[in-house]
Structure 1
């Protein structure tokens, strides 16, 4: 495939505005690229109307490597603030602009092209490669959760997620995430007679003031990721200034580390809610939004070390082995039946989720070389009988 053809595939992906939805259009386009190759097994797994995950498997008997990318992007915001239209795929010099250019349609396009070139060239793989293109990563990794529950990761020997780490970084460990909401229900009355009502804001503040000390006991730090993070980011309540509020709520975001599994934190939060609800008039309800476990990882795992070696060779730099503060689809896929290493390495820039998001065309094309070389090297290593699968 020519470099121009590879660039056009990325442009086409960016021109599909899959903003937190409409991933089926992306899945349909990618599936169409594999139509000339009947030996590729193409499966669509519907999450909701207009939202299809896509699984493409190529290769032979032996170890299986997963290549993962998500098809959704975040909203462009005020499109008038963009110098380059967010869904045009405009090229200026070495930069290709558009929403998702960095996060992460360039990585998605690169792993798609990796499979296409293996098919085009008739490469005899010492195993198989499974493309896992997911929905809903930006809002909760629920596409990855669906594919994991359906068994699509059960036979993996390793997983490469094409998130925009930059090709000079291999991410082997990542924070988890817990988003939670606390709703306080009270009783509205006229503010001149507060004793006849129940102030939902006052009761919510009891939780707010108590949760900080509870979270402060998590003092252990990770040498790569740092400590556990807890932030209350949204608070709302009340109807008008002369009424005792009948309802109030807060939302908080936590970034966890491997030392503290999510269940440990759930237990503490739920115990605090139960304790406060014993007080007269207090009614607090706790819920979670798409929590993800932290990814522990091993910097010496074969896939991690191979990724560094290959990226060093292809790109001519000293690739660093690092951790990530953000969650990714790997947290879901690692719940599969098999035991494997998940890493992140992919093209991108520091403009993800920003106005005039872009990716370097040179890095995008290098990423394809990295994925092709890394896929072959890993499968060959994993296929050797004396090797323990990653």
Structure 2
């Protein structure tokens, strides 16, 4: 595929306003690119998460081994449009950079793996069975990847390449932190502030939780050699109705970034243990819930898959590939639950402008990434 057509495909993906929704439009477009190759055995499967929100699984080639390529279809909100130099949903090329929402995170990576697969089909050069997993909802909880994993679509893969931004194809992620977002609600009893003895102060009880959870989390003090320590931040606190009333309800939200040494179940047990302890006190009524928790993704920088990626990369790029850990979660946190023994890697053409105004991808790196994914597939099946 010539470079102009590669730009057209990325530009079309950027033009689709899949801001935390409407991924079905992205799935429609991707499906349309593969439809002409159905006579070559291409399988296209739509997996609906919710109305207007479709993940897509595209399978090409045959064989016992399976190479997975993955990218998410959604993007974050562009934010303040005045902070952009151009329309965030219209790709603009300037000084060798293509600008637009999703240019880095991660429609350039998604486009690159799609184009690599299309080139293989066009040239009758599909080296084995390859599956594309285009997912919904990565930015708000990885629930497209979770659905695909739960329903068995990912079972049996032998390697998974997620085309997340990788410092312009210079850094491959092989392990990442997990996420536990917790919400603790305190229920009290409203009363006039002049007669507080008639009420139960929900804020007071929630403050007890806020103070006591810190030393509980501090006990998780192991240090991962790549990812570092578990982190905990109390990030939101809301309570009360008005200044002259005893607050009847208060809510605190916290964010924990976990490491493989501490599975999420261990964290859940610690948090729920504290809630249960406080609820034994008179008048306390605390409850806890979680918002799309993600396990930390373990990995090995010396696994055969990562070694292969580094070999292919270093044959094609001037600077050697750096293997690193990722502080943020990705669809890999869900894919790791699929049946099978396989490595997951994160490497794509994007850079550190994710979620920012004037997000961009380097055009030359984008084109190079297409060639990289094709060569990776060829060498993966030659092993």
TM-score range, shorter chain: over 0.9
Do 1:34 and 1:116's aligned partners in 2 also have CA atoms closer than 8 Å? Answer: yes
**Residue in 2 aligned with 1:82?**
84
Look up the match of 2:31: 31
Decide whether aligned partners of structure 1 residues 143 and 124 sit closer, same or farther in structure 2, where only a CA change above 3 A counts.
closer
What is the match of residue 385 of structure 1? none
Deviations 1:123-178 (A, max 9, x none): 041x2000000000000000001000111111100100000012111111100111
Runs of 4 or more above 6 Å deviation: none
CA distance in 2, matches of 1:45, 1:70: 13
Give the whole-Å Cα distance in 2 for the aligned partners of 1:292 and 1:377: 32
Equivalent residue in structure 2 for 1:94, among 66, 75, 96: 96
Q: Tell me what 1:263 maps to.
A: 265
Structure 1 contact 94–360 (Cα < 8 Å) conserved: yes
Cα deviation 1:41-68 (Å, max 9, x = unaligned): 1111100000000000001122000000
Counterpart of 1:12 in structure 2 is 12
Q: Tell me the residue number matched to 2:225.
A: 223
| Alpha-carbon offset, residue 85 of structure 1 | 1.1
Q: How far apart in 2 are the matches of 1:241 and 1:14? A: 47
In structure 2, the residue matched to 1:176 is: 178
Equivalent positions of 1:79-158 (< 5 A) are 79-125=81-127, 127-158=128-159
* Structure 2: distance between partners of 1:119 and 1:93: 32
Measured after TM superposition, the shift of residue 280 of structure 1 is 0.6
Query: Which of residues 346, 362, 366 in structure 2 aligns to 1:364?
Result: 366
Does the 8 A contact of 1:140 with 1:290 survive in 2? yes
Aligned equivalents of 1:379 and 1:253: distance in 2?
A: 41
In the other structure, the counterpart of 2:381 is: 379
Instruction: Give the distance between the partners of 1:187 and 1:81, measured in 2 at CA.
Output: 45
* Superposed displacement of residue 231, structure 1: 0.3
* Cα distance per residue 1:243-300 (max 9 Å; x no partner): 1110100111110001001100100000000000001111111000111111110111
Contact 1:191 1:243 in 2 (8 A): yes
Out of 191, 200, 214, the position equivalent to 2:216 is 214
SS of the aligned residue for 2:78 comes to: coil
Q: Are residue 159 (structure 1) and residue 163 (structure 2) matched?
A: no
Quote the Cα distance in structure 2 between the aligned partners of 1:34 and 1:351: 30
- Native 8 Å contact 2:205 2:284 kept in 1: yes
Q: What is the CA deviation profile of residues 184-203 of structure 1, one whole-angstrom value per residue up to 9, with x for unaligned ones?
A: 11011100000110011000
Structure 1 residue 354: Cα displacement: 0.5
Secondary structure at the aligned position of 1:156 is classed as: coil
Aligned residue number for residue 204 of structure 2: 202
- 1:317 is the counterpart of 2:325: no
SS in 2 for 1:117: helix
- C-alpha distance in structure 2 between counterparts of 1:338 and 1:62, whole Å: 13
More deviation in 91-100 or 22-31? 91-100
1:334 pairs with 2:336 = yes
TM-score, with normalisation over the residues of structure 2? 0.98
What's 1:244 paired with?
246
Do the aligned partners of 1:153 and 1:338 also contact (CA within 8 Å) in 2? no
Q: 2:358 aligned with 1:346, yes or no? A: no
CA distance in 2 between partners of 1:295 and 1:350 (Å): 21
Residue 17 of structure 1 aligns to a residue in which SS? coil
Gaps of 5+ in 1: 382-390
Tell me the TM-score normalized by structure 1. 0.96
Match of 2:194 among 192, 195, 210: 192
RMSD: 0.7
Q: Is the 8 A contact 2:60 2:126 kept in 1?
A: no
Q: C-alpha displacement at 1:232, in angstroms? A: 0.5
